[in-house]
Copies of this chain bind each other. A is one copy, B any other.
């Protein structure tokens, strides 16, 4: 079984109430990788028998450290309309809330569609880009094939500040796995903290809250399959202990699959 599918295993106690567990393969420096927590919280809603349609947004609050082991997820639809459904998803460990998410699920309809964002051109072939190397590699990064071709953290950090923290990379699950909403939710948090790209040095950070918008439906995700997807990530402002970062996740064919935003704590 793929490590992501192992991490997404959960035991239903009641509809929407699940026992899940951290997965050692997705460990970060402290606690689990935020993306895997996002995927697990979304999965709980995806498994709910009253789910309407497919996810179009998710906001996750990383409220407290998640200790290794089991935790409980309670995912409940709090309002179901004709075509949209709003969710509150809470995770607790030993009776204390450790994470909270909200989500919107929706039934999409065929409409006029268009794109304002620009798909980058002159992209290198993923196979021509070296996988990322770094000094301190948290375990979860081994679950991704990360091929930065712009704005990479070099193996040796110079401390010479760059003018901005933008990066571009090809990424897919490692080993390859067909893309679905849980995998996409996780990839939305896979981008290296922008402050380290800009500052070119190690900075203590922690994502506080993450919002992802899913523009793909499951048919489009199926088309992507286990291909690399393109990530383009940037920060906007770093100020008094917090910075925001945003990213786009594109298919190799130029479909914008997700846009994602987060606020990150830093100590620098």
Q: Interface residues, chain A, CB within 8 Å of chain B?
A: 56-57, 59, 61, 63-64, 78-79, 81, 83-84, 86, 88, 96-97, 100, 102, 104, 106, 108-117, 164-166, 194, 198-199, 208-209, 211, 213, 215, 217, 234-242, 244, 246, 248, 256, 259, 261, 263, 265-268
Contact = CB atoms under 8 A, between A and B. Distances in A.
Nearest to A117: B236
Given A86-B100, A116-B234, A236-B259, 12 more contacts: A56-B242, A56-B263, A63-B81, A83-B265, A88-B88, A111-B238, A114-B237, A114-B238, A116-B194, A116-B198, A116-B235, A215-B242
Given A61-B86, A102-B59, A208-B84, A259 B241 contact: no
Given A116-B198, A237-B115, A239-B215, A100 B100 contact: no
Contact of A268 (B81, B102, B111, B164): B111
B61 A115 contact: no
| Interface of chain A, main secondary structure | strand
Contact of A236 (B106, B116, B198, B268): B116
Which 6 residue pairs of A and B lie closest in terms of their CB atoms, listed nearest first?
Answer: A63-B79, A108-B240, A117-B236, A116-B164, A59-B59, A211-B211
Given A56-B263, A86-B63, A213-B261, A242 B106 contact: yes
A242 B108 CA distance: 8
22 contacts: A56-B263, A57-B208, A63-B79, A63-B81, A78-B97, A88-B100, A106-B241, A108-B239, A110-B240, A111-B240, A111-B241, A111-B266, A111-B267, A112-B238, A113-B239, A115-B237, A116-B164, A116-B236, A211-B211, A211-B261, A215-B237, A246-B261
A116 B151 CA distance: 13
A229 to B, nearest CB: 15
A217 B208 CA distance: 17
A213 to B, nearest CB: 5
Nearest to A87: B61
A259 B246 CA distance: 10
A127 to B, nearest CB: 28
A235 B102 CA distance: 22
Given A116-B234, A211-B261, A240 B109 contact: yes
Contact of A114 (B84, B198, B267): B198
